[in-house]
Structure formats: structure tokens, C-alpha cells
Amino acid sequence: MRTEEAREWAAASLRALSHAFAAHDLTDDALASIAETANELARWVNETPIRDRLALMRNRPDGTVLGGRGFEDRAVGGWSNPTSVELAVRYDNDEVIADVVLRRAFEGAPGRAHGGIVAAAFDDVTGFVIGKLQEPAFTGELTVRYLAPVPVDEALEIRARLDGRERRKLFISAELRTGEAVVATCRAAYITVDPSRFAGAPDPR
């Protein structure tokens, strides 16, 4: 198994544990056992080399960033990140479509996904529109309107597209559906930047 595939597998296992933990009522002994095991694993992992995400993401001769392996480490939807939302992204003409199930660790009110998680998922999916354009940009503004409860443990779909641009600003809209019902909408403004600024610190090599 390739290293990145192994990392994604390990991250998926940790996500499964997190959601199982949130969904079940464990005994004190079981909780103590989990705590001891988790602390021991954390000590072991902390003794390994630091992961340089920026170095992993560099994939152009000038050292700037457009993706790369470290992209899957991203906080919200990265498959190599054990705390992420599991977004399965595809493209349909000018739209980005993401299938997602917000599992129990993302529950706010009983049976409903936390609004901050919904906003974060919108931020990640609208970012794929930027990736499709191949124009490095940062989120300048993100506005979410919640129209109905967003359920946990149910299949959801997010659709996003570019609505227009004004100088350095890119305007993107998206909606979140459960079945045919739209339960939340989003408007985002991204600010394009020079690729060298997006890359952050100079390559130390």
C-alpha cells in the first residue's frame, strides 16, 4: 500500500472511532481504556518526524502551491485528516458537487448537524470551484442561510458554482440538499492572490 493510501486508511479508522464514540454510551472502564490507549498512541506518534504540509503541496517548478499530496490533509474535507468531513467531490459541467454524510460527532441539537460544521463544509466545497479555476484565492466572506434542520447520518449533496467576478473577487454560490429539499444556502467571496503569496514561506531547499 502506498504511503498516502495508508495515511487515508488510518485517518478513516480514526474518524470511525470518533463518530462511534459520539454515538454510544460507554462505561467508565471502557472510557478509561480508550483514554489510556489514545494517550499511548499520541505519545508514539509525537516521536515520529513532523509532516511538512507545505513541502508536500508544492507541485510547480517555481515552488508555488496548487495542490499536491498535502491537499488531503486540509482541515475540513481532507481524506488524510482524521477530524474531517467526508466529502466525495465530483464535477458536472460548471458545477462542483459533493456528496456527504455528516455523522454523529458533528451533531449539534439532537438529530441535527452543527451549523458551524455546515458552514465549514460549504467553505471547503466552494474552494473546489477555485481549484477548478486554477486561481489561488482565500475566503474573504462566507454567508450561510439555514432554511431547515440539516440531518445527521443522512445522505446530503452540496452544489457550488462561480457566479461572477469583480477584479480580484470571485463570487460563488452553493446549496445543501437532502433529497430534493434545499436546507441551507451559501454565498462566498474569494480574493485571488499571487501564487507565490499563497505558497506562504519560501521553499527552504
Inside any domain, residue 77: yes
Number of domains in the chain: 1
* Separation in Å, CA 84 to CA 13, 81, 90, 91, 111: 12, 5, 18, 21, 19
Judged against a pLDDT cut of 50, whether residue 204 lies above it is answered with: no
Measuring CA to CA, which residue among 181, 174, 125, 172 is closest to residue 150?
Answer: 181
Residues 6+ away with beta carbon under 8 Å from 190: 126, 127, 130, 137, 138, 139, 140, 169, 170, 172
pTM listed for this prediction: 0.86
Residues 6+ away with beta carbon under 8 Å from 46: none
Tell me the CATH number at 144: 3.10.129.10
The residue range of the domain holding 103 is 53-198
Inside any domain, residue 158: yes
Q: What confidence tens digit (pLDDT) does each residue in 92-145 have?
A: 999 999 999 999 999 999 999 999 999 999 999 999 999 888 888 999 999 999
Q: What confidence tens digit (pLDDT) does each residue in 10-25 have?
A: 999 999 999 999 999 9
Inside any domain, residue 42: no
Amino acid present at 111: G
Inside any domain, residue 22: no
Q: What confidence tens digit (pLDDT) does each residue in 77-96 have?
A: 999 999 999 999 999 999 99
Rounded to whole angstroms, the Cα distance separating 177 from 193 reads: 31
Inside any domain, residue 5: no
